[in-house]
Each structure stands twice: as structure tokens, then as C-alpha cells.
Structure 1
Amino acid sequence: MLLLSITLLLTLVSLIVYYCFILQQRYQYFHRRSIPTPPFRFFFGHIKTLWNVPSFHRQLESWTQQYGKIYGIYQGATPTFVVSDPDFLQEVFVKQFLNFPARRDVLPGNKIRSVFTSWGATWRRHRHVINPTFSAAKLKMMSPLINGCITNAMEKLEDHVKRGNDFNIYVYYKRMTMDVICRCAFGIDTDLQNNPDNIYFKKVEQIFARSVRLNPFAKFSQLFPKMGRMFGGLFFAFNSARSFVNIHILPLVTSKQLSELPGMWLFNRLNPIIEQREKTPTSRVDVLQLMLQVMTDQKIQDDNSQDTSKANYRLTRDEIISNILAFMAAGYETTSTALAFATYELATHPEVLEKLQAEIDQLPLSNDDADEEAKRYPDYDIVAQMPYMDMFVSEVLRMHPIANAAVQRCAATDTTVQGYFIEKDTLIHADVYSVHFDRELWGPEDPYEFYPERHGTKRHPMAFLPFGAGPRLCIGMRFALIEMKILLVRMLRDYSIQPSDQLQTKLNIRERAVTAPEEVWVKLIPRNVS
């Protein structure tokens, strides 16, 4: 017995020593390539520092100022190139897309696979089905639906104008953008703006209430990437079991519920949306309709070759639910946050507000109560031809990039980029802040000054990354921009924006799932436009 115990102990010690040796070799990754790296801790690398800073991406920007446009960090033992060199990024995101086809999972083992989280042949299937939804022709058809949601939001804003008080406008942007994505993408009339206690809306809000990267399972996956998929699978299986109990068992005996991840709560309760659409066919062509046309109950085996000629793409029911959830979350938070930052900049830059209003006043829109909607409300064709609006929105997104965590890629194979040998599974993380505030890319004006006119000059294709880059460029980019512009046109045609005394104190920009303010307090003043 003693001999067995000694043998087991020696085996354990040997494994620990071997693991430490492997880690030590791993931590030579950047040193062997003569790439600078900030000081790090054994076993944790730089990840413990990144867990404890207020902003992951501001910390990267700080290191970039010290170590240059290409340097390395270790997320646990995973080497990560942090890059703000535009030529390097162009090769990764565009020229070598097939070698860097996807991001690394924050929570491996997740069964929620959508156009945002899939890769390879699976990603091509999703993208092929969903792409037609966001064509110019479809966006034109959606303009009345978008305007309908904005009309509801404008009524809420008008109440504050009549009372003459300042208020947090961000609240109304969130409700409006969720309303838009539900109506335009899924044909769901939620009445969210009149019923903000809608449980689906609350759950989507909760998704963005905390940073996913600080989830204990996400931390574990970063420290032990080889075991991450196994533990991630157990984590999601455990949450699926809790959902099953909440849906099928607890309602029979009690009103209490087990706690669930908001994303998993939604995933397990979105099936009725599909069933309702199946029962009530429609001529509407939205995201859900396009997905339902190719839905199959058969298991799909993707061919991970690079053959893109396959015409008969299909989606499973779970994949459709995953995409509904992804579009609900992304379409709600990113657009509302961009509008919040746009409002902040307009409130603090009255000269920009005046220029934007001058352009809006020249649009072919009537201010009377004409019945012809096209005369009263801007549509796709109108807002797509507003040069100063384009520059303004671009400057907002340059200074306030929202989804920085998405601008990364994982090497699918060994390759070489700009003379650097990159091994499989190495991460490439774009330092978006450093790119967006690079004087060489955005001068001669100070890049830390809000100056929309700088976008009148052609820049490097990788200088502007709010929607990512390359084939995985945000699929809903044009939809989000049109939604933003229509709302801004309608709001600024009727009102001017003034900062509240609480604007700066309550802004409190935080980095969670996205980089967003907490509140945006302003006052709307009616305009007298002849």
C-alpha cells in the first residue's frame, strides 16, 4: 500500500513537472520570435491582469503605447498577437481569411451556433441563407417598419419635451432597437416600448449586464484551453438541465424557478416564435422567413473543405433558434449603444449638431401632416445619400467602437504573416482603440478630437474597424446604419439636443459584453423650422 502511494505521488509530481516544463516552453513563444511582451506571471500569463482591469481593451491600448504595434500577450498559456498595424491586420482578416476563419470561443462547448459564432462550412451555410435579408432592396422594404418603431419612440420623447425635463434617452433607444429587430427580423409585434417589462427584453438586457470573459467557466477555459470544451460542454448541459426542470417540472409544484443563464433561458424558450410563424405563413421576407424556408429536421454533416459551390444550404431548428437569439442580442445592444454615443457627441458638440441639422433641413421631407408617408418620414433612399450624416456616424463609431472583442481571429493552421511565423490556435487580437486613435492613420487633425470631416479623406482599409473586417464583416452593418440614420433624421428635424447637468456624471462608460455608457442624460428643445 505504501509503495502504491509513493508511486502515485511520484507520478503526480512527474506530471506537474512535465506540465510546468511545457508551460515554460510555451512562454518562450514570443521570445523566440523576438516579439516584445509585457511582464507576465507563470501559469496565468497576462490574463490575471486583464481580469482585474476596468477595461480589457484600454489595457491593450496602454500596452501598445509601450511595446509597439505588434506585441504578444499570453491568455493563460495561449499566445495572442495584439496588433494595431493595418497591413498585418489586412493580411489576417482579408488576404489569409481561410487561415483565420473564426474567433476563439469564450465559452467552448456551447451548442448555440449562429452566423456569429460558427466557422468553416457551417458559417458558410448560415451566411448564405441570411445574406439576402440585408440587401438594398430588402432594406428599402423594411423602412416603413423601422419608421413605425421610431414613431413610438418619438412619442415617448415628446412627453419629456412637453414637461421640459432632462432624462436618460438611452432607455428609449434600447426599447426602440429591440422593437425594430423583433419586427424587421422576425415579424414579432412585441409592443416593447409600451411594455418594457417584457420578459424576453429583460433577459436580453441581462446578457449585456456583465462581461462573459469574467464568467468562471470562461476563466477556466482560458487557463486550460485543452480541457475547456469538455468543461464548457458540462456547463451548458447543466444549464440545459436547469431549463428543462424550470419549463417541465417546477410549474407543476411551485412558482419558484432555478436560476439560468439569460442566453440559455432565451435559447430554450424561443421555439414558440418558430411554431407561430409556421402556423401563420406570411409574404414578408425577413430573417426568420428565409431561415424557415431552408429548415430541416435532419442532422447536417458539414463538409469542411473549401468548396463553396454547394447550393442547397439548410439550417436545423436549433441553428435557427441560435440565430434568432444572436440577432436579438446584437441588433438590440450595438445599435442602441451607438445611438447613445451619437447623442452624447451631439450634446457636447453644438457646431456638429448645427451642421447635421442643416443637412437634414435640405431633405425632401414635409413638416406638415400630409398623409403621404414618404413625404413625412425618411426612407432608405433618403438617408443613404447624406454625406455629412455618413461622416458623423463614422466618427461616432471611430471614437466609440462598441464590439471590440469580436475583432479577433484564431489561426486554423500554421502560417506566416508579415514575416512572423504563427502556429495553429494562436490568437490575433486587433487593438481597435490604438487603430482608431492612430495619428498616422487619422491625422492631421488630432484623433482624440471629434471631427466628422476627417472621414472625407480616404484612409487605409483597416483603419476603421467598428464592424470588423473581411468576409466576416458584420452582416447587419447596413441595417444598423439605416436604423440609426432614420432615427437621427427624425429626431434632429424636430429637436435640438442640449446636455443635462447629469450628462458627464452619469455617463460611466463600462466594458462588459460591449463597451457602453450606463446612462445618457440630455434635454430636447423643440425647433422652429419653416
Structure 2
Amino acid sequence: MFDISELFQVSASTVVWTIFIITVFAYGIWPYTYLKRYGIPGPIPLPFIGNLPLLASMGEAQSALYLSKRFGRIAGYYFGRYPAVIVNDLDMIQKILVTDNSSFCNRYQIFPPKGVFVNSIFFAKNDHWKMMRYLLSPTFSNGQLKQVVPLIQKVIMNAKNNFGELADQEQEFDITTVVGRFTLDVISTTAFGVEIDSQKNPNCPLVKSCLKFVKFNIFSSLIPLSFICRPLWYLVDFLRFPGTLENKLDYLVSFCQDTIKFRKTDKTANRRDMMQLMLEARMNNNNTSIDEEESASLKDFVSKYQDTQSLTDKEITSNALTFLVGGYETTSSTFAFLIHSLAFNQDAQEKVYKEIMNVIGEELPNQDNVRELMYLDMCLSETLRKYPVVTRLNREADEDIKVGDWTIPSYTDVVIPVYSIHNSPEYYPDPEKFIPERFTPEAKGTRHPYTYMPFGKGPRSCLGMRLARLELKMLAASILREFKFTPCSKTEDPIQLTQLFFLRAKNGVWLNVTRRGKA
């Protein structure tokens, strides 16, 4: 006899499995049809994890280069469950960064920033970003740079002594370590008015904390799990595992906060460093450090909030930390790549040396005389072309928007692949070669201006660009007129690069150094 209860048992089981399959499809498969619906090509994503294996194995820079070669001017991929669109078309890039900047004003964020970075200009959005950009711009004006030149010169003397000891010892050395300490000394004295001499005190807590932060590997932590399931981000952050980012910042945050408290109570010292300028910053119409690309974006905003806005302690801490960590990583790696390139191109190194001696001689490098070092500037530009430390720019559209022949989806990571463009043979023949002459005025005039973006473009370009170039050229002029660099047994060519967001040498940059004139 037929038992009707069996029918209900089968049906219940079927329902459970049906719900399970639909749930798996909705969460792990359906999101990966998003870019396809916009007609954007790209590699086939895996369920639940998207293209994370590709990104983890190749790194941000190389994966963007690979996808650009394979799919052309525009390509899509998935960072876990989150869609990203790589834009390689230069005219489209110009529209995104400048022409249509009002629609792409913000940087894409997979997760909202927490902790100290909530108030960083890097992550700020809309009016909050406009306010901070306006208030922080004078911190990096030409007038302010003149005031920090003596501070940089003092740190350079310590660096010269360090290179002199290495030359006398005739030892192979990793230049990234030496220059990293120099860069940290420059930032600590120009930003905070603190002289730490990390070149002689490598165990200084500030030095050790910076190193912990910049060596943080996102793919060796628990963070990638949150790219698959957003709530896991908040769990990782709440539990503060030893490998999480917040744990690497505790000392740096305390350092910034203590400096602010001291400045507010100490009224005797007449400091004009970045920390003091941030403390004194207030909205007004007298900011002459804003360039043309920024002024159109900020003009109406300044009139609206004039004399009513200043930076809070949290905003000062957040931005001071951004300058400290960002400046440390980018400047030290760039200088190491520059010296490595000159070590393998001795003709270029000798040409730089002769230019320094003809233009500066024995004078101390400063803001005015390094401006006359045209060939050194070309070498630096070529280094930044070949090794852009910031390998990509990110933007986000607040609504679907037509750019060129493509529709860019809203709330999607719009990636400008700086490394890929800089190393494209279409714009730079033999891109793997170090050719400073690519940056003569005549050569630059033949290229699209958006083939070169080491500091970004448009209103959200790097605030610290002028300071970075100044300290790099001052250090190079001081060091290269007294020392000569050559490859050693540990020198890599080509350099093995890291698989992280910032470009740096995976195994360091090892070289030999000798004093000029020594046989």
C-alpha cells in the first residue's frame, strides 16, 4: 500500500537541496556574470574566489600587464567577489581622471577604512576629500619646500657618512636598507620635527614599526578570506589577529598623537614643519598652492566653507601617518631602482656625475640648483617609468557612466594600470631598457601625456610629488658626485619584484660602492 508520508519526505529533501543549490549559485556564481552583462571581457572567474589565484601568483602589476596584453584596452576581473575594470585606453583614462572627474572623484574601496585611516586624504570621499585636499596643499608648496631644504641637507650628510663607511669596508650591501633609513629620517624631521638618525639607530621603535607596516603582505594574512565573504573583514578586524594591519600601526599612531599633544602645549618653538602647518590649517581663499586641475574642483567648495573648517586631531594623525608610511616606501624604493639602473648603465652614471660637477660642483644641493640637473631629472623620470612604485590608480563611478565606447558600471573598481602602460612597447619601445633620453622635451612632446603617471594625474594626484622629487634629486646629487656604484655578485638583473601593491625589490638591491677617485 502506498504511504503518502514518503512523498512528503522526498519533497522536503528536494526542497532543502534546491534551496542549497540556489543559495550556492546566488552567492558563488551569479555575481561573476556582472561584468559580462556590460560586455566587458576578462579571464573566467572561479566560483566564490573569482580571480584571486591569478592576482596572488602574479601580483597586481604583472597581472594587469598580462590582462592588458590578452584582452586589450579594457578588461575585467574579480578581486574575490568584487568586480574590477582595467582601463588601458589613454583617452578614456584622461576622461576618468580629469574631464569626468566629478563622476570619478572617489577612490574605490572594497571595505570602508577603519581605525586611523578613516580620516586619511587617501580614502576620503566627496566634500571631505575636497576639504582636506585644500587644507593640506600648502604643506607641500614650493615655499614650504624651501624651508625644509636645510633639514634634508642635514640628513644627507648622515647618509654620505653611511655610504662612505660601506665604501671603505668594500662590502656588498643592500641599498634599499640604507636609503630606507635616510627616507625615514627625512620624513620624521620635515613632518614631525623629530631627529631620529635611524641610519645609526636601526633599532629605533619608529624604524621597526615602519618596516613592519610596509612589509605587510595582504596575501599572507587572513584578509583574503574577506574578499570572499565581506563580514569576515569585520571579524578579522575585531579579533585583531597578530597578522592584521591594525596591530602593525599601534606604535605609529601613538607617536603621531603624542607629537600633536606636545605641539599644542609647547608654544615656544617656532616650527614650520608639516605637522605644524596641519595644526594651523584653516579654509580661506589665499591658498596659492592649488594647481589649475584642482582649482576648478575646489573653488566652489572653498567659498562655501571659508573660515569654518580646520583639521581635527584625528585627521592630522591619519594624514601624518599616510605621509610617513607612503613617503618611506615610495621614495626609498625609487632611489634604489635609480642607482641599480645607473650601476648597469655606466655611461649614464658618468654623464650624471659630470653634470653634477658642472652645475653644482661642491655646493650643497638645494631646491634651485638641482632644478638645473636636467639629465639627472631624465634618469629619475625613466626610473619612475620603468619602476612606478604605485603600480595602479583606483577610481569609482557613483553611477553607470559612458566613457568612450564603454559603459563603466557603478561601484566597481576602475583600475588605471600605471605599470602596464609604463611598460608597454606601444608607447616605449624596448620598455625593459633604461633609456633616459625618452624624457627629453622633444621626446615627451611626441607622446600622449597619459603614458606617464608615476604620481597620478588630475585633482587626486600625489600631494607629496614635489617633496619626493626634491629629496631624491638632492640625495642623488650628493651621493653620485662622491661615490660610484657597480653590480656585485648578489645583484639581480632584472630585479625580482614583489607581488604586493607597491613595487619593490623582492630580494633587495645589492651593489658595490667605491669612492670617486679611488683606484
Give the TM-score range, shorter chain: 0.7 to 0.9
Equivalent residue in structure 1 for 2:112, among 108, 112, 121: 108
Q: CA deviation at 1:108?
A: 3.0
The letter of the residue matching 1:344 is H
- C-alpha separation in 2, matches of 1:237 and 1:269: 23
Shift of 1:10: 5.4
Alignment partner of 1:73 is 2:57: no
- Cα drift, residue 331 of structure 1: 1.1
Write the deviation string for residues 153-204 of structure 1: whole angstroms up to 9, x where unpaired.
Answer: 1111111222233322221101000000010111111122211101121111
1:358-437 to 2 correspondences below 5 Å:
358-366=354-362, 376-405=363-392, 407-437=393-423
Deviates more, 1:307-316 or 1:318-327: 307-316
Matched, 1:62 2:66: yes
Which residue of the partner structure matches residue 202 of structure 2? Answer: 196
Tell me whether 204-213 or 464-473 shows the greater mean CA deviation: 204-213
| Structure 1 residue 14 displacement after superposition | 3.4
Deviation, 1:438, is 2.2
Conserved 8 A contact 2:180-2:329: yes
Equivalent residues of 1:77, 1:223 under 8 A apart = yes
- 2:162 is aligned, of 122, 131, 156, to 156
Distance 1:38 1:161 in 2: 50
Change (3 A) 1:259 1:335: closer
Choose which of 439, 444, 454 in structure 1 pairs with 2:425.
439
**Is 1:144 aligned to residue 150 of structure 2?**
yes
User: What is the aligned counterpart of 1:165 among 164, 171, 174?
Assistant: 171
Equivalent residue of 1:380, what SS? coil
Structure 1 residue matching 2:459: 3-state secondary structure: helix
The partner residue of 1:520 within 503, 509, 518 is: 509
1:490-527 CA deviation, whole Å, 9 max, x = no partner?
11111221111211289542133411113222222222
Moved more, 499-508 or 149-158: 499-508
Answer with 464-473 or 142-151: which moved more: 464-473
Q: What is the DSSP-based 3-state SS (H/G/I as helix, E as strand, rest coil) of the residue aligned with 1:439?
A: coil
How many Å separate the matches in 1 of 2:83 and 2:321?
31
Structure 1: gaps (5+ residues): 244-257, 296-303, 367-375
Is 1:414–1:423's contact at 8 Å kept on the other side of the alignment?
yes
Change (3 A) 1:478 1:260: closer
Q: Does 1:335 align with 2:331?
A: yes
**Cross-structure match for 2:50:** 45
Alignment partner, residue 348 of structure 1: 344
> What is the match of residue 322 of structure 2?
326
Q: 2 CA distance for matches of 1:185 and 1:38?
A: 44
Conserved 8 A contact 2:390-2:502: yes
1:448: which partner in 2? 432
**CA apart distance, 1:48:** 3.2
Which residue identity is paired with 2:510?
Answer: W
Give the aligned residue type for 2:25: C
Q: What amino acid is aligned across from residue 132 of structure 1 in structure 2? A: P
Give the match's secondary structure for 1:512: coil
Higher mean alpha-carbon deviation, 63-72 vs 99-108, is at: 99-108
Range with greater deviation from structure 2 (410-419 or 324-333): 410-419
Once the two structures are superposed, residues 40-64 of structure 1 have per-residue CA deviations (whole angstroms, 9 ceiling, x without a partner) of 212222123323x042320221122
Which 10-residue stretch deviates more, 17-26 or 141-150?
Answer: 17-26
- Rounded to whole Å, the distance in 1 between the matches of 2:88 and 2:94 is 11
Counterpart secondary structure, 1:421: strand
CA contact under 8 A between 1:110 and 1:233: conserved in structure 2?
no
Name which of 448, 454, 457 aligns with 1:466.
454
Q: Conserved in 1, the CA contact under 8 Å of 2:216 and 2:245?
A: no
Contact kept in structure 1, 2:423 and 2:431, CA below 8 Å: yes
TM-score of the pair, normalised by structure 2: 0.86
Asked if the contact 1:108–1:221 (Cα under 8 Å) also holds between the matched residues in 2, the reply is no
The 1:101/1:235 distance shift into structure 2, 3 A limit, reads: farther
CA contact (8 A) 1:497 1:524 kept: yes
Please report how far the alpha carbon of residue 379 of structure 1 lies from its aligned counterpart in structure 2 after TM superposition.
0.2
- Mark the CA change 1:519 to 1:190 in structure 2 (over 3 Å): closer, same or farther: same
Distance 1:16 1:188 in 2: 60
CA contact under 8 A between 2:86 and 2:414: conserved in structure 1?
A: yes
Q: Deviations over 1:48-93 (max 9, x none)?
A: 3323x04232022112212112111122332211122211111111
User: What SS does structure 2 have at the residue aligned with 1:40?
Assistant: coil
Per-residue CA deviation, residues 471-508 of structure 1 (Å, 9 max, x unaligned), is 11111011011100001101111122111121128954
- 1:203-218 matches, within 5 Å, as 203-212=209-218, 215-217=221-223
Give the conservation status (yes or no) of the 8 Å contact 1:209–1:512: no
Change (3 A) 1:269 1:20: farther
Deviation at 1:306, TM superposition (A): 7.5
Q: Does 1:119 align with 2:105?
A: no
Match of 1:97 among 90, 97, 101: 101
Native 8 Å contact 1:110 1:232 kept in 2: no
Q: Does 1:317 align with 2:313?
A: yes
- The secondary structure found in structure 2 opposite 1:142 is helix
1:294 CA displacement: 4.6
**For the Cα contact (< 8 Å) 1:109–1:236, is it kept in 2?**
no
Query: Matches of 1:139 and 1:97 in 2, distance apart?
Result: 28
Name the counterpart of 1:373.
none
- Name the CA shift for 1:35/1:106 in 2 (closer, same or farther; >3 Å): closer
Distance 1:25 1:280, change over 3 A: same
When the two chains are superposed, the root-mean-square deviation of aligned CA atoms in Å is 2.9
SS in 1 for 2:19: helix
Counterparts of 2:14 and 2:373, CA distance in 1 = 72
- 1-structure distance, mates of 2:448, 2:340: 27
Match of 1:299 in 2: none
Map of 1:370 onto structure 2: none
Deviations 1:305-353 (A, max 9, x none): 9844322322221221111211110111110000010110011110110
Question: What is the CA distance between 1:7 and its match in structure 2?
Answer: 8.6
Residue 34 in structure 1 maps to residue 55 in structure 2: no
User: Counterparts of 2:400 and 2:85 in 1: how far apart (Å)?
Assistant: 14
State how far apart, in whole Å, the 1-side matches of 2:173 and 2:109 are.
38
Letter in 2 for 1:175: R
| Residues 115-157 of structure 1: per-residue CA shift (max 9 Å, x gap) | 1221211112221221101111111111111011110011111
Q: CA deviation at 1:423?
A: 2.3
- Partner residue in 1 for 2:279: 292
CA distance in 1 between counterparts of 2:225 and 2:100 reads 30
Q: Could you say what secondary structure the match of 2:426 adopts? A: helix
